[in-house]
Structure 1
Amino acid sequence: MGSTINVENVVASTKLADEFDLYKIEAELVGAEYKKEKFPGLVYRVKAPKAAFLIFTSGKIVCTGAKNIEDIRRVIIALAETLKSIGIENIYSEPEIIVQNIVATADFKVDLNLNAVVLGMGMENVEYEPEQFPGVVCRVKKPKV
């Protein structure tokens, strides 16, 4: 019986332009939400593949919610085309996409004694505060995960 590993979320960032007028994007892009007093970025969600964007006036974009890196690339390129189609100019043609984080889950198909896991891995490599979060956060230096 092996474990099942699933990628739950990929977070990536890029820069699509030198700057954006978020009010214009909100006015033209159906479903876009920009509440400057609550958050400095515009939030925009897409359904296929499922992802969400945080778009900033600096031209920077954070994309989250995709299940793989290829979907990240697809939705960012699609967003660039959508922005062009609503009249946003000077969109970069070859944006560098940087994966910031990948969240994956695994089912080891056994019950784990988290206290023993913490002791076994060494306190300097783990975070375990069961009152705050019912899991152990393990940090590995090589590879950095």
Structure 2
Amino acid sequence: MFPKAIIQNVVSTAQILNKNKKLDLYSLSNIIKNAKYSPERFSALIIKVEQPLRSTALVFSNGKIVCVGTKSVKDSEIAIRNFVKLISKANSLYDTMRIAPPDWLARHISYNPEFFPGMCLRLKKYRSVVIVFTTGKCIITGARSEEEIYLIQNKIYNTILMFLKSQ
């Protein structure tokens, strides 16, 4: 039996503006505590919070928010709601919110150790990417639930075992 996957980072997104509207990221950076905006380095406002959940949000001018750093889907939903409230208070806006992990799809497996030490396996069926390192550690991105993470982990583990047994 293989060890249970440990979820280290959940990524979620929200859209808080209708199309054709823009957020003034410079003004928000001056109002919101622990917010940094350097448009010459990165086009998003970066907000880091420690309470109630340690997490980071990338806020883009089109109203898209990417939340990273939580350890579960539930925590990610709570964190992104907190970011929406924080921005709403600072900007007096609230529109609609959609929570969904970003969609990282491609059509092939890639491995080039000169550029990146991990093998990227793209699972079209699950709309996920698994990065497998020579240390045995794996990163699963794009999964929609914890159950899907464990299902993908099981499939990857059994596939790797199949190759190990054939050697």
- TM-score after normalising by structure 1: 0.72
Q: What residue in structure 1 maps to residue 15 of structure 2?
A: 15
Distance 2:28 2:94 in 1: 13
**1:62 has 2:66 as partner:** yes
Q: What residue in structure 1 maps to residue 121 of structure 2?
A: 138
Letter in 1 for 2:99: I
Q: What residue in structure 2 maps to residue 4 of structure 1?
A: 4
Q: Which runs of 5+ in 1 are unaligned?
A: 103-123
Write out per-residue CA displacement over residues 106-143 of structure 1, whole angstroms, 9 at most, x where no aligned residue.
xxxxxxxxxxxxxxxxxx84222222233322222323
Q: Cα–Cα, structure 1 residues 29 and 130, in superposed 2: closer, same or farther, change >3 Å?
A: same
Report if the CA contact (8 A) 1:12-1:101 is conserved. no
Letter in 2 for 1:21: D
- TM-score after normalising by structure 2: 0.63
Letter in 2 for 1:40: S
Matches within 5 A, 1:1-145: 1-17=1-17, 18-48=21-51, 49-86=53-90, 88-92=91-95, 94-100=96-102, 125-145=108-128
Of structures 1 and 2, the one scoring higher in RCO (CA 8 A, sep 6+) is 1
Aligned-residue RMSD, C-alpha: 2.2
Shift of 1:31: 1.1
SS at structure 1 position matched to 2:8: strand
Q: What residue in structure 1 maps to residue 134 of structure 2?
A: none
Distance 1:84 1:125 in 2: 41
Please identify which structure carries the higher strand content.
1
Q: Percent identity?
A: 28
Shift of 1:9: 1.8
Distance 1:65 1:97 in 2: 15
Write out per-residue CA displacement over residues 24-78 of structure 1, whole angstroms, 9 at most, x where no aligned residue.
2111111100111222111111124222111112111111222221111101111
SS at structure 1 position matched to 2:78: helix
Q: Which runs of 5+ in 2 are unaligned?
A: 129-167
Shift of 1:101: 6.0
Distance 2:77 2:43 in 1: 24
Distance 1:12 1:141 in 2: 19
Report if the CA contact (8 A) 1:10-1:101 is conserved. no
Q: What residue in structure 2 maps to residue 113 of structure 1?
A: none
